[in-house]
Amino acid sequence: MKKSYNVLLMNDSFPPTIDGVANVACNYAKILTGHNHTVTVATPYYPDAIDDYPFEVLRYGSLDTTQQVGYRTGNPFDPAITDALISRKPDFIHVHCPIVSLYYARMLREQLHIPIILTYHTKYDIDFEKALSLTVLQNAAKSLLIDNIKTCDAVWAVSEGAKENLRQLGYDGPVDVVCNGVDFEKGRATNEQIVQLKQKLHINEEFVFLFVGRMMWYKGTRLILDALKETTMTDYKMIFVGDGLDRKEMEEVTKEYNLQDHVIFTGAIKDREELKIYYSLANVFVFPSTFDTNGLVVSEAAACSLGSILIKDSCAAERVTDKQNGYLCEENADSLRQMMEYTRNHPEEVQQIGQHASDEIYMNWEDAVSVAEEKYARILEQFQQESTYKESVLDSGTMRTLLDLQKAVYTVQKTRDDIRQQGSIFLEMIQTGIDTAKEKRERISTIVKDSVKEMEEVLRQTNPVPESLVFEFSILLDRSETTKVVSGNASVNFIPFTGGVTSRLFTGTIRPGAADVQITNAAGIRHMCARYVFEGTDYTGKPCHIFVDNNGYFTENPIPKPFRTCPVFITDSEALQDYLHRPHFRAEGHPYEGGVIIKVFDTDKE
């Protein structure tokens, strides 16, 4: 008799988000629940989520980054959710994303002392290359990713290609290939449903090609449009099902190529039964992606006896034999065009290929999760024998510090709705019960260190981040220690401050002794000069310092908001010296109650 487990599933995406990994996490939860396991899913908050499932979904805070990356970004700084997850007393944590979800899982493991299992789905090196322009930053991101994965007690990959990608990134630990299933029952939609959809899409007897997935160029969608641009076919339809950041540009290219009479964009289809009708309507599924590590949509198509055109040696093509249970082509538009034209000219063969795909490629979720359950049992048995779990790079003490940081940040977040109010509470705390300037600076520094990351995330949530933005310094002014000298029409204000910064280049806090010196001469010209030293680590992980000399001159009264300054940097970081020691920066000061945010921009990128 199988043992019932208390399972905690974690992923950065979950319905209503539509993508392959969200679909995987949801199906794991459904099937495990149906197998008499107790399942809890932890995932970021979505405002339109309706969690009407036979299992529990706990959503932690998130930032709206959908315009930047297409997803909301998890911000798990809510100790109430953490306490709730701990109280569920899971036997293990199964994570489907090696970034935010995995860091959160490691914080939970520090309290629970249970194993973490990671399923690796996505080629993150491609994501890093898209997001980071500098090779050194890409390499640093890959290193952090692999260090995070090494802390897992078991690592699974969804395909041999995903496993190979992990190896290429530098992971040298054990990896099991555990394939995903399909939540479609084998079989096609009814003829009546197909006819109704054809009428809706104004399709008559045309040969129908279908793509299902996110509307992103890296999915191979441009290859499809480039192939159709040169085709001699006339009696066909190409249906794109899905949505994504590149959809608008894809539609523009479709018009540019004069393909609008042949190409249909449906948008995202959340209803799985409706999606099945699209698979049943099509003659061939076209999925020229080399990004996907598994390609669940290929198995979904096979469930509906629909064969696929795939790129030779791609992960999606692992179980496909050319002209046996699918079609393979080279990764170029001409080869894809030839294969699409070939299938159009061989409709009977295409139908046979679709039946072979159904017999040889299809795997349902019941079978896939049953394999996972057997592996769960072995992992738990081994874990109990060893009585320990893995850690790497961030040791257990650091993870405990992250838990403390989580609680501190949440306290600040809940006491004030926005960053201005946070500045006020900082000063109130400083002014109550602290007797000396040294104690004040130490107290401010501690508070800033625990909260500056959350403060900057709040700002980013409401303000898009331009590519030219290099740093955002969060400055807290200690006005109770202001020294003022007045002589006639001239004056000097000497205001101590502290603060911090988190960025892709450097993370650190300001050392004691920082001050903003505001000099107004008899002519009414004000010179603001802030000099301070950050102490922290650069993007390579090495400790370093950055000296900042930030100057601005103003004749306006009051000073403009934001005010503009010219910063100069000196650093002992070997990795940052060449970049920071060049005179190509400008800064903006954005005051708020209790302090100021200094935004530093690279003028070469503006």
Q: What DSSP assignment string belongs to 360-417?
A: HT--BHHHHHHHHHHHHHHHHHHHHHHT----BSB-HHHHHHHHHHHHHHHHHHHH-S
Number of Cα atoms under 13 Å in the Cβ half of residue 247: 19
552-558 contact pairs (CB < 8 A, 24+): 552/527, 552/528, 552/589, 553/525, 553/526, 553/527, 553/528, 554/525, 554/526, 554/528, 555/524, 555/525, 555/526, 557/524, 557/526
Residue 520: pLDDT band (50, 70, 90) is confident
Q: Sign (positive/negative) of CA torsion 288, 291, 294, 300?
A: negative
Identify the residue with better confidence: 377 or 122: 377
Residue 130: pLDDT band (50, 70, 90) is low
Residue 389: pLDDT band (50, 70, 90) is low
d(C-alpha 224, C-alpha 220), whole Å: 7
In this predicted structure, the answer to whether residue 197 has a pLDDT above a threshold of 90 is: yes
Residue 393 · residue 362 · CB < 8 Å: no
Q: What is the pLDDT of residue 590?
A: 87
pLDDT tens column, 526-545 = 888 999 999 999 888 889 99
Q: Sign (positive/negative) of CA torsion 117, 121, 125, 129?
A: negative
Q: What is the pLDDT of residue 391?
A: 55
- Find the mean pLDDT for residues 233-248: 94
Q: What is the pLDDT of residue 428?
A: 45
Residue 584 · residue 468 · CB < 8 Å: no
pTM score above 0.85:
no
Under DSSP, is residue 108 helix (H, G, I), strand (E, B) or coil? helix
- Find the mean pLDDT for residues 256-260: 96
Amino acid 271 reads D
Under DSSP, is residue 254 helix (H, G, I), strand (E, B) or coil? helix
Residue 278: pLDDT band (50, 70, 90) is very high
- Find the mean pLDDT for residues 568-576: 93
Report the DSSP pairing between strands 176-177 and 154-157: parallel
User: Which segments of 132-177 does DSSP mark as H helices, in order?
Assistant: 135-149, 160-169
Residue 396: pLDDT band (50, 70, 90) is very low
- Find the mean pLDDT for residues 341-365: 94
In this predicted structure, the answer to whether residue 200 has a pLDDT above a threshold of 60 is: yes
Question: What residues does 545 pair with on adjacent strands?
Answer: 535
Q: What is the mean pLDDT of the chain?
A: 83
Other Cβ atoms closer than 10 A to 222: 16
Q: What is the pLDDT of residue 452?
A: 46
d(C-alpha 387, C-alpha 528), whole Å: 59
Q: Which helix (H) or strand (E) holds 579?
A: helix 577-580
For residue 54, whether the previous peptide bond is cis, meaning omega lies within 30 degrees of 0, is no
- Find the mean pLDDT for residues 334-341: 97
d(C-alpha 434, C-alpha 440), whole Å: 6
- Find the mean pLDDT for residues 276-302: 91
Q: Which of 5-14, 94-103, 280-289, 471-480 has the lowest mean pLDDT?
A: 471-480
DSSP 326: B
d(C-alpha 104, C-alpha 75), whole Å: 9
- Find the mean pLDDT for residues 381-391: 72
Residue 12 · residue 42 · CB < 8 Å: no
Identify the residue with better confidence: 457 or 18: 18
Q: What is the pLDDT of residue 2?
A: 65
Identify the residue with better confidence: 458 or 213: 213
Q: What is the pLDDT of residue 134?
A: 62
- Find the mean pLDDT for residues 240-250: 93
Residue 336 · residue 288 · CB < 8 Å: yes
Number of Cα atoms under 13 Å in the Cβ half of residue 226: 12
CA–CA–CA angle 566, 570, 571 (5° rounding): 135
Q: What is the pLDDT of residue 20?
A: 78
Under DSSP, is residue 581 helix (H, G, I), strand (E, B) or coil? coil
In this predicted structure, the answer to whether residue 555 has a pLDDT above a threshold of 80 is: no
Q: What is the pLDDT of residue 340?
A: 97
- Find the mean pLDDT for residues 21-28: 91
Helix 20-34 crosses helix 296-303 at what angle (to 10 degrees)? 60
> What share of the chain in percent tops pLDDT 70?
83
Q: What is the pLDDT of residue 456?
A: 46
Residue 147: pLDDT band (50, 70, 90) is confident
In this predicted structure, the answer to whether residue 237 has a pLDDT above a threshold of 70 is: yes
